[in-house]
Structure 1
Amino acid sequence: MELWAIWLVLAGILLVVEMLTLTFYLLWLGIGAVVAAVIDWIWPGSLELELVAGCLVVLVLTIFTKPLTRRFHAVAEYKDAVDDLVGKHGLVLEAVGADSPGIVRVGNETWSALSTARLEKGETVVVVSRGSAVLHVQKWGG
């Protein structure tokens, strides 16, 4: 398979995943892959040039659009779907502690979780906040 076609397949995958996440992070990488594909189509065999051009495009797009996307999120009252988990109830699947993350199920999703108090399997919890990839939970008293 030609390298330009591989770049286009990679770009397509990145763009599809971007449509699922709506974060703009993968969009710039997808555009960089398209630029690399175009360069390989025009000048075949110039992998270094493709990589440099693709990386430069990604860097420029990231630098110049970061303020724009930040403003877009602020004006549109952008809320990450994970933020909606705060206040929801879940079930402990694996014991949770302060220094040893466990696993909880909230809705139909499973998450790593931390808690200030030890929580055992089967206990009901409420999500109090979230980290980048970890939920912070506490025992539900209701």
Structure 2
Amino acid sequence: MDLWVIWLIAAGVLVIVEMLTLTFYLLWLAIGAVFAAIIDFIFPGGLVLEVIVGCAVALILTIFTKPLTRRVRASRGFKDAVDELVGKQGIVLENVSSDAPGIVKVGNETWSALSNEHLAKGETVIVVSRGSAVLQVEKWGGIY
């Protein structure tokens, strides 16, 4: 199999993963892989050149589109998929406290979580806020 085909397969996989994560970073890597495939198609056998071109394209796209993605995320009405977890109920899978994160299940996903109080396995919680990868939860008392 030609190397340019492998570059295109890698680009396709990166695009699919990007659609699941919505971070834009994998999209830039996919575009870099497409450029590497083009280089291999035109100049076969130059793996080092392909990697350099692919990395350069991904880096340039990341640098020049960062302000754009920041503006989109800050725009009115933009809601990250994780933001939708706030207010939802979950179940504690591993004990949660303020000093040691535990694991909670919200919907079909498991998340690291912190709480101001100790929460034992099996308790029902509600998500009150979120960080980049950690949810802040409280014991659910049926108030919400």
Query: TM-score of the superposition, structure 2-length normalised?
Result: 0.90
Residue by residue over 1:22-74, the C-alpha shift from the partner in whole angstroms, topping out at 9 and shown as x without a partner, is 32111110000001111111111211111111111111111111112222333
Q: Which residue of 2 aligns with 1:114?
A: 114
- Partners of 2:133 and 2:40 in 1: CA distance: 37
**3-state SS of the aligned residue for 1:121?**
coil
**3-state SS of the aligned residue for 1:135?**
strand
- Give the stretch that moved more between structures: 71-80 or 13-22: 71-80
Q: Which residue of 1 aligns with 2:21?
A: 21
- Partners of 1:128 and 1:56 in 2: CA distance: 41
In structure 2, give the amino acid aligned to 1:75: S
- Partners of 2:94 and 2:18 in 1: CA distance: 31
Q: Which residue of 1 aligns with 2:5?
A: 5
Q: How far did residue 75 of structure 1 move?
A: 3.1
Q: How far did residue 76 of structure 1 move?
A: 5.1
User: Gaps (5+ residues) in structure 2?
Assistant: none
In structure 2, give the amino acid aligned to 1:95: N
Relative distance call for 1:38 and 1:69 in structure 2 (3 A) is same
- Partners of 2:37 and 2:119 in 1: CA distance: 51
Identity among equivalent positions (%) equals 71
Query: TM-score of the superposition, structure 1-length normalised?
Result: 0.91
Matched ranges for 1:43-58 at <5 A: 43-58=43-58
Q: How far did residue 21 of structure 1 move?
A: 2.5
Q: Which residue of 2 aligns with 1:82?
A: 82
RMSD of the TM alignment (CA)? 1.5
Q: Which residue of 1 aligns with 2:72?
A: 72
Q: How far did residue 112 of structure 1 move?
A: 1.5
- Partners of 1:97 and 1:31 in 2: CA distance: 42
Aligned residue pair count: 142
- Partners of 1:108 and 1:30 in 2: CA distance: 28
**3-state SS of the aligned residue for 1:62?**
helix
